[in-house]
Amino acid sequence: MFLNRKIQLIPVGDKEEVNRVYSYLRDGAFNQNKAMNQFMTALYMEAVQDVSAEDRKELNKLYTRISTSKKGSAYDASIKLPKGLPSTSSLSMKVKQDFATACKKGLLYGKISLPSYRMDGPLLVHGDYVKLRSQSLADCGLYHNYGSHQEFLEHLYKTDLEVFIKFANDITFKLVFGSPHRSQALRTEIQRIFEEEYTVGGSTIQISGTKIILNMCMEIPKREVSLEEDKTVGVFLGRTVPAVCVLNAAQNKTKKPFYLLVGHTEEIRRKRAQIHEQRYRLQCTITSNAGGHGYNKKMKPFEKFHKYERNFNRTYNHYLSRKIVDFAVENSAKYINLEFEETLNTKDRVLNNWAIYEFQQFVTYKAAQYGIVVRKVDYAPKPLEDVSKEDDISDAFQIAQAEDFAEKVKKTGKKKEKANEKEPVTA
């Protein structure tokens, strides 16, 4: 189980050192992404053309060496990867994974375009440079300067907490946590890293505006809870409430589905209507603005509303997913059944035009912390004129008892299409 956390970094040193760090990161990301685009093009060409297996092995070897290697390299001499980072191994692995994923989605059949990497994209960082540092002061990694672990815990939830990362090329970063109240979860995760409960893996660093952001990837262990194989929770995105959770009747002695109604309909509708109304009034005002150098500045308030609504949806998805997973844990359910997002129609649902894929991803990664398996069900509720909460509970109960999951649905669907094609058409 992996978690990603965004943490702001500040270079430690004078103004000259800060400029050196920014140049190092910008030039490193530029050359790295340029090399990745070149490798991605080479993989595509060898897949389209009839290239032998020996030539492919040799090509992969050439792309795992830097441009100045004495053994030879496929990269241009102008590509100078960041000093001190093992970039060739990280970027080759990343490109191969992205290329394999693109091929599964139909790259070679023209269904999608060839993946590319932005020149200002994030810089790949090996886990050895951001993990917990060993006792040696010369090693890279995460550390603090407190005399003992107990002293570190005393400053953990205070504003004067100081945690550093010794990075490649003699660079030292200081982590910025912000408000102790808002960053309470992040500070707890940092504590577990120092206590070696969590381990830090390969991460990325990027420059967003004027800030340096570390996308830290942490591997966390599964929480041991007792789960029963014959218990399943069905989740239905309701028409009267945002989400309904129902436990299947396998272990229900009362023969009535035990359910949980998650979320408040009026809260969502009122908040989204408020955001849309404010954005509409601002949009009417902006249309009268003239062009020129000040146009982009005048459009910034309008862009803030898009981020505001996006943050509200994301926060609410976290709330819904946490409630659903907690419900499954309390009832010792081994499985959670969700509606298949590709066939889900949210037209008459409370969560209309919602980030459904993100919601299901949140449920999946939160459930994985407890070893709960998330499955997708292709379910279409019956259209009703007068919908009540009992109807939503009934639909969630049907999802909990379903046995045809998304993978099986796809396969049977393809077989039906082939069978229809073979049948002769009669006039």
Instruction: Examine the domain organization and report whether 145 and 9 are in the same domain.
Output: yes
| pLDDT at 416 (0 to 100) | 41
Instruction: Examine the domain organization and report whether 246 and 377 are in the same domain.
Output: yes
Instruction: Examine the domain organization and report whether 164 and 70 are in the same domain.
Output: no
> When comparing pLDDT for 350 and 370, which is higher?
370
pLDDT grade for 419, boundaries at 50, 70 and 90: very low
As a whole number, mean pLDDT of residues 271-276 equals 84
Share of the chain above pLDDT 70, in %: 88
Residue 426 has pLDDT above 60, yes or no: no
As a whole number, mean pLDDT of residues 191-199 equals 91
What's the burial of 317, exposed, middle or buried (CB within 10 Å: 0-12/13-18/19+)?
buried
DSSP for residue 301: H
Q: Is 259 helix (H, G, I), strand (E, B) or coil?
A: strand
Please check whether residue 423 lies inside any domain of the structure.
no
Average of per-residue pLDDT values in the chain: 83
| pLDDT at 251 (0 to 100) | 52
| pLDDT at 207 (0 to 100) | 93
pLDDT grade for 255, boundaries at 50, 70 and 90: low
Nearest CA to 359 among 416, 390, 387, 319? Answer: 319
Indicate the residue type of 204: T
Strands of 249-370, DSSP E: 259-262, 333-339
pLDDT grade for 414, boundaries at 50, 70 and 90: very low
| pLDDT at 139 (0 to 100) | 82
pLDDT grade for 137, boundaries at 50, 70 and 90: low
Share of the chain above pLDDT 90, in %: 27
Are 266 and 417 in contact by the 8 Å Cβ rule? The answer is: no
Instruction: Examine the domain organization and report whether 163 and 260 are in the same domain.
Output: no
Instruction: Examine the domain organization and report whether 253 and 354 are in the same domain.
Output: yes
- Cβ neighbours for 116, distance < 8 A, ≥ 6 positions apart: 37, 40
Are 412 and 403 in contact by the 8 Å Cβ rule? The answer is: no
Q: Residue 38 sits in which domain range?
A: 17-124
Instruction: Examine the domain organization and report whether 213 and 239 are in the same domain.
Output: no
Neighbours of 399 (CB within 10 A): 25
Number of domains in the chain: 3
Buried b (16+ CB within 10 A) or exposed e, 284-303: eeeeeeeeeeeeeeeeeeee
Residue 412 has pLDDT above 60, yes or no: no
Instruction: Examine the domain organization and report whether 139 and 162 are in the same domain.
Output: yes
Instruction: Examine the domain organization and report whether 245 and 358 are in the same domain.
Output: yes
pTM equals 0.70
Instruction: Examine the domain organization and report whether 92 and 205 are in the same domain.
Output: no
Nearest CA to 97 among 34, 31, 36? Answer: 36
**Helix%, strand%, coil% for the chain, nearest 5:** 45, 20, 40
411, containing H or E segment: helix 406-422
| Residue that is last in its domain, among 71, 101, 124 | 124
Ranked by mean pLDDT, which of 47-51, 214-218, 238-242, 258-262 comes out on top? 214-218
Please check whether residue 94 lies inside any domain of the structure.
yes
- Cα distances (angstroms) measured from residue 197 to each of 128, 132, 223: 17, 11, 12
Please check whether residue 313 lies inside any domain of the structure.
no
